[in-house]
A and B are shown apart, each in its own frame.
Chain A
Amino acid sequence: MTISLAVPDILVARAKSGDLEALEALYRAFETPVYNLALRMLRSPEDAEDVLQETFLEVVRSIKQFRAEGHLWGWIRRIASSKALMRIRREQVRATEELHEEATAGRGGSGGVVPARIDLERAFERLSETSRAVVWLHDVEGYTHEEIAEQMGKTVSFSKSQLARAHARLRGMLDDEGAVP
């Protein structure tokens, strides 16, 4: 998803002064992109909504620190991805990701011809949360491996290897279902 969201400076200034209407306008402007980012990273709509809420609580709390010369969507997106990654880390404490990935990969797998886009979406959802996060942040949102590594508290090579591993899995899953030549 390519996002190009321009927000008038006056709206940002009003939001910085604590104007609730301006804050709501920002919420309405960025609600969908934040939700989609979180949903792609976390898969669960409920978790994505929670991240949306946490993100805007943080936006409201910290908007005074936002520098006008920066890109507002970039700033909000960073908060959102950070919240989503935090949630992924929490989940990793509770469950072993590999087990989940293997378990979900074994399910589904219906035959039949379905549009490639749907197959890709389903295959993407079968990746581990870390892999999904890396693929989405790198390939869709345009983050560099250095930025991903910093946000995840990992190394650049971790980010690169996760990306390679995720694409290898995607390729394998899509080949199995005959969706990609």
Chain B
Amino acid sequence: MMHCTMDDLLALRAGEASAWARAHAAACATCRAELEALYQRVAQLKALPTRRPARDRWPVVREAVIAGRRRRRERWGVWSIAAAAAVAGLLVFRPFGTREADAAELARVKQESATLEQQLERYDPDARVMSGRTAAVAAALEDRIAVIDGELARVGPPDASPRPAELVKLWQQRVDLMQRLVGVHVTRAAYVGL
């Protein structure tokens, strides 16, 4: 005698069984017992004991939130200065040949840096879990970017800087580091499928 398969039993439970399966289950004590066992298994699964995590992960989440907010504030600070500097720089450099070229290059690298910042925002690195190695590489790059930002703040806006070429060089270094930082997050996101 042919009995219900597990597919038939699951379909019976879902109310989607074939006419044959319904008729057979109604007449077959073995299949009714199998169906009852299925219900019992699921009831037992639902009643499995509740487990609690051994470690409290909230402090890690909290730190990530705070670090993320701090980074965002810092980025906005840098970009406010950068935007003002770009406008001032274009005005100051306009009349001079070499300075004009520097101003154009400065505007270009700043735009590139802004694009990279946006890319980085999309990966939202502050809200992601990273392996220790990746986190160390990212942290090292971020530290170097912070040093460059410090230098940019020290040199000041283009109109106050005696050497615009120095500014361009700093921004180019910043772009290079940003590209590497974005690369770290892109690789990591591709690996974990984010």
Measuring CB to CB, which residues of chain A are less than 8 angstroms from any residue of chain B? 1-2, 18, 20, 23-24, 27-28, 31-32, 35-36, 39-40, 45, 48-50, 52-54, 56-58, 60-61, 86, 89-90, 116-117, 120-121, 124, 135-136, 139-140, 160-161, 163-165, 167-168, 170-171, 174, 180-181
CB pair B50–A61 under 8 Å, yes or no, is no
Q: Do A45 and B48 form a contact, CB below 8 Å, given A60-B61, A164-B10?
A: no
Chain B 49-88, CB within 8 Å of chain A: the 1/0 string? 1111111011011101110010000000000000000000
Question: What CA separation (Å) do A116 and B41 show in the bound complex?
Answer: 10
Q: Do A160 and B10 form a contact, CB below 8 Å, given A1-B50, A57-B129, A180-B37?
A: yes
Question: What CA separation (Å) do A60 and B46 show in the bound complex?
Answer: 29
* B193 interface residue per 8 A CB criterion: yes
Minimum C-beta distance from B49 to chain A (A): 8
Question: What CA separation (Å) do A135 and B38 show in the bound complex?
Answer: 12
Minimum C-beta distance from A133 to chain B (A): 13
Minimum C-beta distance from B56 to chain A (A): 8
Minimum C-beta distance from A145 to chain B (A): 9
CB pair B57–A53 under 8 Å, yes or no, is yes
Chain A residues near B44 (CB-CB < 8 A): 116-117, 120
CB pair A36–B51 under 8 Å, yes or no, is yes
A interface SS class: helix
Q: Do A53 and B10 form a contact, CB below 8 Å, given A32-B50, A117-B47?
A: no
Question: What CA separation (Å) do A40 and B47 show in the bound complex?
Answer: 12
Q: Do A163 and B57 form a contact, CB below 8 Å, given A40-B48, A57-B64, A57-B128?
A: no
User: What would 6 more interface pairs be, CB under 8 Å, given A1-B46, A120-B41?
Assistant: A57-B127, A58-B127, A120-B48, A121-B49, A161-B7, A167-B38
Question: What CA separation (Å) do A100 and B24 show in the bound complex?
Answer: 37
* B33 interface residue per 8 A CB criterion: yes
CB pair A180–B40 under 8 Å, yes or no, is yes
Q: Which residue of B lies closest to A53 (CB)?
A: B57
Chain A residues near B129 (CB-CB < 8 A): 50, 53-54, 57
Chain B residues near A2 (CB-CB < 8 A): 46
Chain A residues near B91 (CB-CB < 8 A): none
Question: What CA separation (Å) do A120 and B5 show in the bound complex?
Answer: 21
* B2 interface residue per 8 A CB criterion: no
Minimum C-beta distance from B149 to chain A (A): 24
CB pair B51–A39 under 8 Å, yes or no, is yes
Q: Which of B91-120 contact A (CB under 8 A)?
A: none
CB pair B51–A57 under 8 Å, yes or no, is no
